[in-house]
A and B are shown apart, each in its own frame.
Chain A
Amino acid sequence: MTSVSTATTPTAPAGPDRTTGTPDPPPRRGRLRRGFNWLGGLGAGVWFVLVAVPLYFLFVTSLRSSSEYLTDGPLAVPSGLTFENYVDVLTSNFPRYFLNNVIVAAACVAIVLLLALPAAYAIVRSRNRSVARAFSVMLLGLAVPAQAVIVPLYLMVTQLRLYDTLLAIILPTAAFALPLAVVVLTSSLRDIPNELFEAAVLDGAGPARTLVSLVLPLARPGLATIGIFTALQAWNGFLFPLVLTQDASVRVLTLGLWDYQGQYGTNVPLITAAVLLSLLPLLVVYLLGRRYLLAGLTAGAGR
């Protein structure tokens, strides 16, 4: 097509002219739009109230004295704030439980990171068929419910004389966090460009040297994600400690809270203070690095 004739014969535009913008939609639809926005906000508001009211109750009640709570009822506006519940909780067995939680979480994170990193590295870089098979085996274990194996675990733990030790909690908790850690780490290691691995080989680096000098620095975000995910799992774990331990010396926070409810069920402010204290470290992490925490939380979304 030449442009010679276009100057003399102007052509009408085919179809509507898009450059001047479409006319506004009829007003009825405008009302519907506003309505939907308003509805969305309302729905969010209703659910927010359902979330916010229990959290508000949790926070405010923990600062009320138990006698005042009993006389004025759960919805009364507190006459004054007191920290007596926190003092009561902190002078009970709570610090012991807290320490156990820290030990369990730290040990689980250490085990999972130490085992998952070399495994993920091999899965990404190896050409060995048995490595790929090992990966499939771990994938199969992704959706195995912990309840399904709790009876044999109890048998194994009692046979190994591990009953009532922190190890009895740590080992299965770490094992159940491992497959997902390997999966997440594998997908983050796949992002490392092949050229870098080839350069490492040319420099004469063996697998161990490559892992330490190349993979480790580049895998930091992935390691942070699975570290947080594992720590959360361990911190909030319930079933393994419930079945594999009994003694107060190895009790963890989740069981401790349940205990408090059984023991001091009538003292609601004390229980709310204990719940909040058990949340404290996670809240701090949440406020400092929400993105990392949420990434760690949703690491399980691919299961």
Chain B
Amino acid sequence: MSSATAVRAGRPGFVWVAPALTFFGLFALLPMVVVVYLSFTAYDGLNPPQWVGLENWTRLGADPLFIETLRLSFLLTAASWVLQTAVALPLGVWLARRGRSRALLAAIFFIPLLMSSAAIAVLWGTLLDPNFGLASVLGPLVGIDDGNIIGDSRYAFAAVILVIGWQYMPFHTLLYQAAARAIPVQLYEAARIDGAGRWRTFRSITVPQLRDTIITSGVLIVVGSMTTFEVVLILTGGGPGTSTRILPLHMYLEGFRSFDMGYASALAVVLLVIGTALSLFIARVTGYRKMASQREGM
């Protein structure tokens, strides 16, 4: 227990944080250290890891597929950010104004938030199935006559971006809706008095007021896209060919399909570095005070 002075002051000591820290350390921090070690080993998942020095890392440097998966990951991130922000921001602002029809629309619109990535990928896999789904009907409408959208390397990546957008857009819309409701109404009154039109008001008041939310939402999209995995695994498995093989999926397939866990660990370290760099960037750009302001108006 805590020391006598702490008890007298009625203040909790380190012992209160210790269980949480230990638990988190064991299952999240320790593996981060171990993964670095494993990236210098050959490990098939059955026998103990064997030290092989820099072998995995030299292979990674010369692996064209690694560069390709990295490129696809960044492409997915950029495309997701553009698509999701362009839809979620105006839609969130539109839904922020109260009204019965909007409330009903919002209630239905937010249902995808409840669905697991697996459920969404299974649903869309069914929808896009060229033989049994809607794709055979909808394909010709977008110029794909046989409806084989996810089986064609030219369209599969776009389909993945759309499905991931379908999954996460409601979430970002929700963020923008809450933030838009927190904008002081006096600003809009002042704009009206100055004779600003709707578009001008949106551009000069709403968007600047939503700056923090745009940052928060953008960071979440970046982190989320960089680590997206389930939807792509279930929807396309990384195919056709390697046209949708993003980095986390590449890591998973190398480790748990080819049982090359040493190489997978090297790929995981790259992911870890990207993730840590992103979180340091987040810590710099956004504070937790902003998070509190995000959650007002909910």
Contacts from A to B (Cβ < 8 Å): 18, 22, 25, 29, 32-33, 36-37, 40-41, 43-44, 47-48, 50-52, 54-55, 57-58, 70, 73-75, 111, 114-116, 118-119, 121-123, 125-128, 130-131, 134-135, 137-156, 158, 171-172, 174-176, 178-179, 182-183, 187, 197, 200-201, 205-207, 210-211, 235-239, 243, 253-255, 257-258, 260-261, 265-266, 268, 271-272, 275, 278-279, 282-283, 286, 290-291, 293-295, 297-303
Contacts and interface: CB of A to CB of B under 8 A. Distances in A.
B268 A140 contact: no
B54 interface: no
Instruction: Give 4 closest A-B pairs by Cβ, nearest first.
Output: A302-B291, A143-B279, A236-B116, A175-B27
Interface in B30-59: 30-32, 34-35, 38, 43, 45, 49
A271 B282 CA distance: 39
B91 A73 contact: no
Contacts of B113: 294, 297
A74 B134 contact: yes
B252 A148 contact: no
Contact of A298 (B174, B264, B278, B279): B174
B255 A51 contact: no
Interface in B219-266: 219-220, 223, 226-227, 229-230, 234, 248, 251-252, 255-256, 261, 264-265
B95 to A, nearest CB: 7
Interface in B110-136: 110-119, 121-127, 129, 131-134, 136
B9 A201 contact: yes
Residue among A52, A137, A293, A303 with max Cβ neighbours from chain B (10 Å)? A303
B27 A258 contact: no
B6 interface: yes
Given A122-B17, A150-B252, A175 B290 contact: no
Interface of B: 2, 6-7, 9-14, 16-21, 23-32, 34-35, 38, 43, 45, 49, 87, 90-91, 94-95, 105, 107-119, 121-127, 129, 131-134, 136-137, 166, 169-171, 174-175, 178, 193, 195, 197-199, 202, 216-217, 219-220, 223, 226-227, 229-230, 234, 248, 251-252, 255-256, 261, 264-265, 268-269, 271-272, 275-276, 278-279, 282-283, 286, 288, 290-292, 294-295, 298
Contact of A48 (B28, B109, B271): B109
Given A48-B108, A172-B27, A297 B251 contact: no
A238 B230 contact: yes
B271 A33 contact: no
Contacts of B30: 152, 156
Contacts of A171: 27
Contact of A22 (B112, B195, B198): B195
B126 A145 contact: no
11 contacts: A25-B195, A40-B90, A138-B24, A141-B24, A144-B279, A145-B223, A149-B34, A207-B7, A243-B256, A255-B118, A261-B126
Nearest to B88: A47
B271 A145 contact: yes
Given A115-B19, A142-B279, A272-B126, 5 more contacts: A36-B198, A122-B13, A128-B13, A171-B27, A297-B174
Contact of A148 (B13, B91, B169, B275): B275
A118 B20 contact: yes
B226 to A, nearest CB: 7
Contacts of A137: 21, 24-25, 29
Contact of A145 (B94, B198, B272, B286): B272
Contacts of A187: 288, 291-292
A152 B38 contact: yes
A138 B127 contact: no
Nearest to B135: A74
A149 B28 contact: yes
Contacts of B255: 150-151, 154
A199 to B, nearest CB: 10
Nearest to B291: A302
A36 B27 contact: no
A148 B269 contact: yes
Contacts of A257: 116, 118-119, 122
Given A57-B127, A147-B271, A290 B107 contact: yes
B288 A183 contact: yes
A268 B132 contact: yes
A111 B197 CA distance: 53
B24 A151 contact: no
A298 B294 contact: yes
Given A116-B20, A144-B275, A182-B20, A44 B95 contact: yes
